Homo-oligomer: A and B are copies of this chain.
Amino acid sequence: MYTTRRNFIKQSIGAGAMILGSAFVSRSQGVLKEKVLDKKLGIALIGLGYYSTEILAPALQETKNVYLAGIVSGAMDNEQYWLEKYNIPRRNVYNYENFDSIADNKDIDIIYVVLPNSMHKEYTIRAARAGKHVLCEKPMAVYAADCEEMIKACKDNNVRLSIGYRMQFEPHTQEVMRYGREKVFGDIKYVTASAGFINQSPKTHWKLQKAYGGGVLMDMGVYSIQGARYTIGEEPVSVTAQQYKTDPERYSEVDEIVTMQLTFPGGAIANLMTSFNVSTNMLYAAAERGWFDMNPFSSYRGIKLRTNNGPVELADINQQARQMDEVAWCIVNNLPMRVPGEEGLRDLKVVEAARKALASGKKENII
């Protein structure tokens, strides 16, 4: 059984840096406290591509509640690099064949699934069956039904599940969520968001292949969907969608550019765009009594927020480190996850309806 102690953390620049209302960082007697476990949980990364190599592993050098305990290494991965750089003991290195025997390894508490989208389901379920908690990258899976299976597998095996959306841990994003929740500017009436980058990967990359759950809607579109959902604070009920290809040969299997219009129960509309053809990352909201925007809104660092009253400057944190620390805290203390599997499922339901709308050319209900 894990116990907790409380450490003071330095206040970042500006009072706004304090993340209030968080399950993880709380204010007690006027002093900001960060919840730190007595003993770090061990995390194993499966899928050692760019995100694990350049983002997660470095973030795990900053975490207080988790540490990089192991890896699951494939034929194409540079196992030696990981062993040396992060002092990972050989006993904590698995491959795709012996992965299930990770069940016997007491060093590993959490498996972080960073594989291509089509593999999220299988490895989340196998990790759950091995008795390990799961952090699974976004988008949660290729189909909503997959998400439901993953949620069930974790429940059945009594392990916790969280999806690797980072924005919910980011201070400016939390402030935007507060605007919607507390109606600081009145009801949100309109959101537009765009998320894209210039994809220069070879056509053989999994993000350009249908079999791996590739395509821009899955890769970047989910950020704009998430953005609309957390800004408006409601679940969308219908979607229309359009797609465009500037290079139909390259994007023969998957979508290159998609626009989507979501409607919400309260009458709000979200007009979204996602692209493999341009670098863009912005979210704008118009409300009854004002507006606000974030540019960028879903980048790893440097989120910028302004409202019609001026800029809002909060702390620029390591989102991945914050997320992994809070996930560990919630596991140990049996607290609700900030981004549970159900959150990934909701996005997939929108994605599925959007796919249907792309095919039918019609407005489709989100079930």
At the interface, yes or no: A117 with Cβ under 8 Å from chain B? Answer: no
Partner of A284, one of B189, B246, B284, B361: B284
Is the beta-carbon distance between A291 and B284 smaller than 8 angstroms? no
| Distance of A189 Cα from B290 Cα, bound (Å) | 28
Chain B residue numbers with a CB within 8 Å of A194 are 190, 192, 271, 284, 286
Set B240, B269, B275, B286: member contacting A190, Cβ < 8 A: B275
**Does A271 contact B291, Cβ atoms closer than 8 Å?**
no
Residues of B within 8 A of A261 (CB): 242, 259
Which residues of chain B are within 8 angstroms of A246 by Cβ–Cβ distance? 267
Residue A273 at the chain B interface, CB threshold 8 Å: yes
A196 at the interface (CB under 8 A from B): yes
Quick one: CB contact mask for A190-208 with B, threshold 8 Å, 1 for yes? Answer: 1010101000000000000
Q: Could you tell me if B362 and A280 are in contact, using CB atoms closer than 8 angstroms?
A: no
| Inter-chain contacts of A295 with B (CB < 8 A) | 284, 291, 293
Choice from B267, B280, B284, B363 contacting A277 with Cβ under 8 Å: B267
Q: Which of B242, B257, B273, B286 contacts A192 (CB 8 A)?
A: B273
**Cα–Cα distance between A257 and B271 once the two chains are bound (Å):** 12
Residues of B within 8 A of A267 (CB): 244, 246, 277
Contact B361 A286 (CB under 8 A): no
Q: Does A228 contact B (CB under 8 A)?
A: no
Asked if A282 CB lies within 8 Å of chain B CBs, one says yes
CB-based nearest B residue for A288? B278
Size band of the interface chain A makes with B: 20 to 34
Residues on the B chain within 8 Å of A291, using CB: 280, 282, 295
> Could you say which residues of chain B place their CB within 8 Å of the CB of A279?
286
Q: Which residues of B contact A288 (CB under 8 A)?
A: 278
- C-alpha spacing A277/B190, complex, angstroms: 10
Whether B273 and A242, one on each chain, are in contact in the complex, defined by CB atoms closer than 8 angstroms, is: no
Q: A347-367 CB contact bits vs B (8 Å, 1 = yes)? A: 000000000000001110000
The 25 sampled A-B contact pairs (Cβ below 8 Å) are A190-B194, A190-B273, A190-B278, A192-B271, A192-B273, A192-B284, A194-B271, A194-B284, A240-B242, A242-B363, A244-B263, A257-B269, A259-B269, A259-B271, A269-B273, A271-B272, A271-B273, A278-B287, A279-B286, A280-B291, A282-B284, A282-B286, A282-B291, A284-B284, A291-B295
Of all A-B residue pairs in the complex, the 4 with the closest CB atoms, nearest first, are A189-B278, A280-B286, A246-B267, A278-B286
